[in-house]
Amino acid sequence: MENVKSWKSPRCSLSQVKGVPLLEPTVQNWALVENFRARSDDLLIATYPKAGTTWTQEIVDLILNDGDAEKCRRAPTHKRMPFLELFPVHSLESGVSDLEKMPSPRVIKTHLPIQLVPQSFWDNNCKVIYMARNAKDSVVSYFHFDQMNHIQPDPGPWDQYLHKFMQGQLGWGYWYDHVKGYWREKETKRILYLLYEDMKEVGRERNPRDEVIRVMHFLERSLPDDIIDQIIELTSFSVMKENPMANYSTFPDSLFDRSVSTFMRKGEVGDWQHHFSPEESRLFDEHYEKMMSGTSIPFRTQL
Ligand code: A3P
């Protein structure tokens, strides 16, 4: 691949592509993303940051490999399922370069909002799995991540960070537009829309098993019950936290400062309650109602 520009500074700044703030190296290399050549058997896993991307990736990889844990330990997540819009920064390689070398079928990660997904994915009628997580837990998880991830811009204090999230000023832009964009298109494109909270729920109306089965059907696979049970166990928070091929422990400390936070941090629904003040929660909810009016995505902030 030609002309990939790499980034040497410690933390990236943001600039915009069609009004969406993205990491500077992505913007500098935007033509390579826009002209990315998808293949018809590519599977795209799309999320707003911190929605449970890695969790979804692990479930998908296990389903595609018939629940074989060893096969899924062949390489760390970002090598097995490259990150489309990541460009050389610190020791990380370009997602596009990795993908071009990869044999089919490929599983590709992106955080791009739907309007920035390269056209070739739609021309090839590629399947997309979209995982969404409630806004309050997403922003809390993103805040901790930005503190420890030295690629991301410095998050600054929590109150200012929350404001930036509400104004769509963090990397990948407005959460509200992101979740609504894929929701709107899910009937006209091949998009499976999942909710983090449904995955976490045990018992009652939904549970991880139902969601893993939905993914399996979407991938046109059929696995016996005991393998499905095994996949649920292997993708539980506690097991993934200890799996070096799924917990980002292969990233150097210079990139992920683990003295500040860990990648597999809490994995819970409702952790926002430990971060939002009552006043922040009230203002956030008011703003949320306006931003999400007219949509019916069944988000839950508590189980
Ligand atoms: P927290 O920071 O709330 O713990 P992403 O992969 O999109 O970056 O998302 C990371 C978030 O998903 C983190 O949330 C992480 O702990 C959580 N996560 C990762 N694997 C998980 C799993 N198996 N079960 C539940 N949550 C998981």
Query: Is 269 within the bounds of a domain?
Result: yes
**Looking at ligand 1, which residue's alpha carbon is closest to its atom 25?**
267
CA of 54 to the centre of ligand 1 (A): 7
40-91 pLDDT per residue, tens: 999 999 999 999 999 999 999 999 999 999 999 999 999 999 999 999 877 7
275 is a catalytic site residue: no
Q: What is the pLDDT of residue 111?
A: 98
12-22 pLDDT per residue, tens: 999 999 999 99
Instruction: Look up the CATH number of the domain holding residue 266.
Output: 3.40.50.300
Say yes or no to pLDDT of 196 above 50: yes
Cβ atoms 39, 124 nearer than 8 A: yes
Say yes or no to pLDDT of 1 above 50: no
- Average pLDDT estimate for 184-205: 90
132-169 pLDDT per residue, tens: 999 999 999 999 999 999 999 999 999 999 999 999 99
Query: Is 132 within the bounds of a domain?
Result: yes
Query: Is 15 within the bounds of a domain?
Result: no
Q: Which residue has the tokens 């811009």?
A: 153
Query: Is 12 within the bounds of a domain?
Result: no
User: Measured at the alpha carbon of residue 160, what is the angle toward residues 158 and 164, in degrees to the nearest 5?
Assistant: 110
Rounded Cα distance between 76 and 250, Å, is: 7
**Domain coverage including residue 166:** 25-291
Query: Residue 93 has what DSSP assignment?
Result: P
Rounded Cα distance between 223 and 279, Å, is: 48
Q: Is 55 in the pocket of ligand 1 (CB under 6 A)?
A: yes
Q: What is the pLDDT of residue 180?
A: 98
* % of the chain beyond a pLDDT of 90: 89
The alpha-carbon radius of gyration of the chain (Å, integer) is: 18
> Taking the model in full, what pTM does it have?
0.96
Relative to the CA of 200, which ligand 1 atom is closest? Answer: 25
Q: What is the pLDDT of residue 92?
A: 79
Number of domains in the chain: 1
Rounded to the nearest 10°, the torsion over CA 52, 22, 128, 204 is 30
Relative to the CA of 268, which ligand 1 atom is closest? Answer: 3
Query: Residue 271 has what DSSP assignment?
Result: G
pLDDT band at 2 (very low <50, low <70, confident <90, very high): very low
213-265 pLDDT per residue, tens: 999 999 999 999 999 999 999 999 999 999 999 999 998 888 898 999 999 99
User: What size, in residues, is the chain?
Assistant: 303
Average pLDDT value over all residues in the chain: 94
**Which residue out of 78, 90, 111, 178 is catalytically annotated?**
111
Alpha-helical regions (H) of the chain: 24-28, 30-34, 53-64, 77-80, 95-101, 119-123, 135-148, 158-166, 175-185, 196-200, 208-218, 225-234, 237-241, 278-291
Relative to the CA of 49, which ligand 1 atom is closest? Answer: 7
For helices 135-148 and 158-166, angle between their N-to-C axes, nearest 10 degrees: 130
**Looking at ligand 1, which residue's alpha carbon is closest to its atom 22?**
237
Say yes or no to pLDDT of 203 above 80: no
Residue 115 C-alpha from the chain's centroid: 16
Q: Is 108 in the pocket of ligand 1 (CB under 6 A)?
A: no
Residue 16 bridge partners (DSSP):
21
Residue from 54, 134, 233 whose mutation best tests the ligand 1 pocket (most atoms within 8 A of CB): 54
| Residue 212 burial (CB count, 10 A) | 21
Q: Which residue type is seen at 5?
A: K
Residue from 57, 141, 248, 262 whose mutation best tests the ligand 1 pocket (most atoms within 8 A of CB): 141
pLDDT band at 10 (very low <50, low <70, confident <90, very high): confident
